[in-house]
Amino acid sequence: MNKLELRFLANSRSKVNLSKVPVLSKRAEDDDEEQAQESRIITGYAAVFYDADEEGTEFDLFGDGSVLERIDRGAFTNALDRPDDVRGLFNHSADYLLGRTASETVRLEVDDVGLKYSIDLPDTSLGRDMEVLIARKDITGSSFGFFVDGEKFERDGEVVIRTITDVTLRDVAPVTFPAYEGTSVSERSKDSIRTYRGTPRLNMAKRREERRLAY
């Protein structure tokens, strides 16, 4: 299986938001009396599609501009059609579960901007912590974890463009550090990138990445 990849988004459209929707529920001790409650829902863009006019919609994989990654507008079609059982994991940690699509506490949709998610916060210590931290804007960014099922490469001068065309989704959720941080590129992707080793800048970036992965 391909290596799990993570993307931490800095794009302004990816910011997570908190909303409270009034919900009426019955109290167990009195079926005739309705108690107003609030359903706490967080929303954000886990991924944004490439837009030449929008800063932050392509990702610098090696930090030197030699390899840029973009997300194709059809990249999530298969993941939503299957559909993948996607978890809401704060900071990509299985210990911080917020919901999942199988239980309909996580909902996903694609629009012109990218992959949008909504999560019903659980009435747990984690859910209440998330509500407070998002409301205070201590947490502002979103992220997603995925396996690459399809990709293509092209060159624009000395720059290699990697376009992700198909993925298996693993998780979406808010993250502490929204700024994009290049994590490991899948082994299959690195093999594909090596076909462009005629570019000196890419050779240097590849060696830097290999040294980083060696630690």
List, in sequence order, every residue forming a beta bridge with 71; answer none if it has no partner: 164
What's the pLDDT at 85?
A: 97
Q: Is the confidence at residue 116, as pLDDT, over 70?
A: yes
Kindly report the average pLDDT of the chain as a whole number.
Answer: 76
Q: Report how far apart, in Å, the C-alpha atoms of 115 and of each of 27, 55, 77, 144 are.
A: 37, 17, 10, 10
Q: Is the confidence at residue 108, as pLDDT, over 50?
A: yes
CA-CA distance, 119 to 96, in Å (whole number)? 13
The tens digit of pLDDT for each residue in 180-198 reads 433 333 444 555 555 554 4
The tens digit of pLDDT for each residue in 16-68 reads 676 654 433 333 444 444 443 456 889 888 888 988 888 778 888 888 899 99
**pLDDT band for position 99 (50/70/90)?**
very high
Q: CB 32: neighbour CB atoms within 10 A?
A: 6
CA atoms within 13 A on the CB side of 4: 7
First-to-final CA distance of the chain:
22
Q: CB 50: neighbour CB atoms within 10 A?
A: 18
What's the pLDDT at 151?
A: 93
